């Protein structure tokens, strides 16, 4: 288990490297979802794997979290991990830390019903911290994290998206 002092040292080391060599900070990450059975899919990021599915009422088998739940999980984890980093970096001791993320969504939008808007209507996150530190210091650390949080800012700002489609690519390759 990494201790706060080790996390702080790792952050300082990383910030120094990124400040001296900005190109080191730029990264591209990928994950792949592959249809397995029905509509459930296996997601792999190269090292780790998990399953996503939908409830039975929506045609799934309910054997894994839904994509929407994973999106909220990504945000909740990004905030929780980020706060833990900044609390360690600022020597703020923490006894308990949790973040609840709630999302309002209109499922009618997924079915194209009139008057609906696709995507989350609103996100709300609730941070619970138990700490003997000054609340002002805790809030300042939360502010700094939120300003740089990669997943949070991917929801609050529009992200350009591009699509590439390959149909029967393997069959074509095999036929060439």
Closest to other proteins by CB, 164 vs 176, is: 164
Cβ at position 91, least distance to other proteins in Å: 14
Closest to other proteins by CB, 58 vs 91, is: 58
Cβ at position 21, least distance to other proteins in Å: 10
Cβ at position 176, least distance to other proteins in Å: 16
User: Quick one: tokens of 100?
Assistant: 């609840």
Handedness of CA 27, 84, 64, 58 (dihedral sign): negative
The C-alpha atoms of residue 15 and residue 29 are separated, in whole angstroms, by 20
Tell me the three state secondary structure of residue 55: coil
CA distances to 60, 67, 96, 116, 117 from 112, rounded to whole Å, are 19, 18, 42, 7, 9
Cβ at position 79, least distance to other proteins in Å: 7
Other residues' Cβ atoms within 10 Å of the Cβ of residue 108: 13
């Amino acid at each position: 288990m990494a201790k706060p002092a080790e996390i702080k040292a790792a952050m300082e080391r990383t910030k120094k490297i990124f400040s001296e060599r900005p190109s080191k900070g730029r990264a591209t990450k990928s994950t792949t979802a592959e249809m397995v059975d029905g509509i459930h899919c296996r997601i792999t990021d190269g090292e780790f794997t998990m399953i996503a599915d939908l409830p039975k009422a929506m045609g799934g088998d309910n054997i894994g979290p839904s994509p929407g739940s994973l999106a909220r999980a990504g945000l909740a984890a990004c905030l929780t991990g980020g706060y833990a980093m900044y609390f360690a970096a600022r020597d703020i001791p923490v006894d308990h830390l949790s973040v609840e993320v709630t999302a309002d969504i209109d499922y009618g939008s997924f079915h194209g019903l009139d008057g609906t808007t696709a995507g989350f209507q609103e996100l709300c996150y609730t941070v619970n911290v138990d700490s003997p530190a000054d609340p002002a210091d805790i809030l300042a650390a939360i502010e700094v994290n939120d300003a740089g949080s990669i997943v949070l800012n991917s929801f609050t700002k529009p992200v350009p998206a591009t699509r590439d489609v390959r149909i029967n690519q393997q069959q074509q390759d095999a036929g060439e």
